[in-house]
């Protein structure tokens, strides 16, 4: 993983070095007519309580278009060159707005279809409202990608085993959890992971308010054009 700023800040903080107007192509069409689509670098919309972002933020990016039938059923076609560095993080975001200590549950289900080639990860990106702490949960990954920081060993919670990495990108602390085996569908109990970070390890205060829970595809390369589809997604909190 490399530095990625949160969606609401990325437009202001990333230099507009991409000549995307000249390189954007047509997205691969979804199975049914999408209710929304965009090939804009910062294209976004809100559907049924989820905010979708095209979010092409990395240098050297190619073409990318996102489409959505809803906030929980959407996909992206991306044609990024076979070079290093993260090019984009198209995602769907749900806002939580409660402290770790104040949450009684935070869970998510996912079902995705991802390519067998390219370099990417399918991941949750969870932020506190101050954007000081970033927690990533990689549910599958392919190609030349890796997490920021140093390994902290493994953690098993609720049937999922993760390799844990801790680092800092110069703007915020980053805690990355890489699932020991790839999965294209499942349920993640997020709150115990956040409590482990805050209460067991003391890496962040449990008084921090969790803001954005993002889910999407962190794409490094997808030469020739590849499709990434979120068939279904739910994020629930109480």
Please report the beta strands in 114-208, taking only residues with DSSP state E, as ranges in sequence order.
119-128, 133-142, 150-157, 160-168, 173-179, 185-189
Distance CA 196, CA 156 (A): 11
The pLDDT confidence band at residue 67, using thresholds 50, 70 and 90, is very high
C-alpha separations of 201 from 103, 160, 194 in Å: 18, 19, 10
**Domain positions in the chain:** 7-237
Smallest CA-to-CA distance from 141 within 173, 156, 163 is with 163
- Residue 156: how many CB atoms within 10 A of its CB? 9
Confidence of residue 209 (pLDDT cuts 50, 70, 90): very high
| CATH superfamily label, 7-237 | Glycoside hydrolase family 11/12, catalytic domain (2.60.120.180)
pLDDT tens sequence across 114-170: 999 999 999 999 999 999 999 999 999 999 999 999 999 999 998 899 999 999 999
pLDDT tens per residue, range 79-94:
999 999 999 999 999 9
User: Considering the entire predicted model, what is its pTM?
Assistant: 0.88
Question: Which 8-state DSSP code applies to residue 7?
Answer: H
């Amino acid at each position: 993983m490399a530095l990625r700023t949160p969606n609401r800040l990325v437009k202001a903080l990333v230099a507009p070095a991409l000549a995307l107007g000249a390189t954007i192509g047509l997205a691969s069409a979804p199975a049914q007519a999408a209710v929304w689509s965009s090939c804009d670098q910062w294209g976004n919309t809100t559907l049924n309580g989820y905010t979708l972002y095209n979010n092409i933020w990395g240098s050297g990016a190619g073409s990318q278009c996102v489409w959505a039938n809803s906030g929980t059923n959407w996909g992206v076609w991306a044609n990024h060159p076979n070079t290093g560095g993260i090019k984009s993080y198209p995602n769907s975001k749900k806002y939580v707005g409660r402290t770790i200590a104040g949450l009684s549950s935070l869970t998510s289900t996912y079902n995705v279809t991802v390519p067998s080639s390219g370099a990417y990860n399918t991941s949750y990106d969870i932020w506190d409202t101050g954007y000081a702490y970033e927690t990533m949960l990689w549910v599958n990954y392919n190609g030349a990608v890796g997490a920021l920081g140093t390994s902290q060993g493994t953690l098993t919670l609720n049937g999922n085993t993760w390799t844990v990495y801790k680092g800092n990108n110069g703007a915020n602390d980053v805690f990355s959890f890489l699932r020991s085996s790839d999965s294209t569908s499942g349920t993640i109990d997020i709150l115990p992971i956040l409590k482990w970070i805050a209460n067991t390890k003391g890496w962040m205060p449990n008084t921090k308010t969790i803001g954005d829970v993002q889910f999407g595809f962190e794409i490094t390369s997808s030469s020739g054009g590849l499709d990434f589809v979120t068939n279904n997604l739910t994020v629930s909190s109480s």
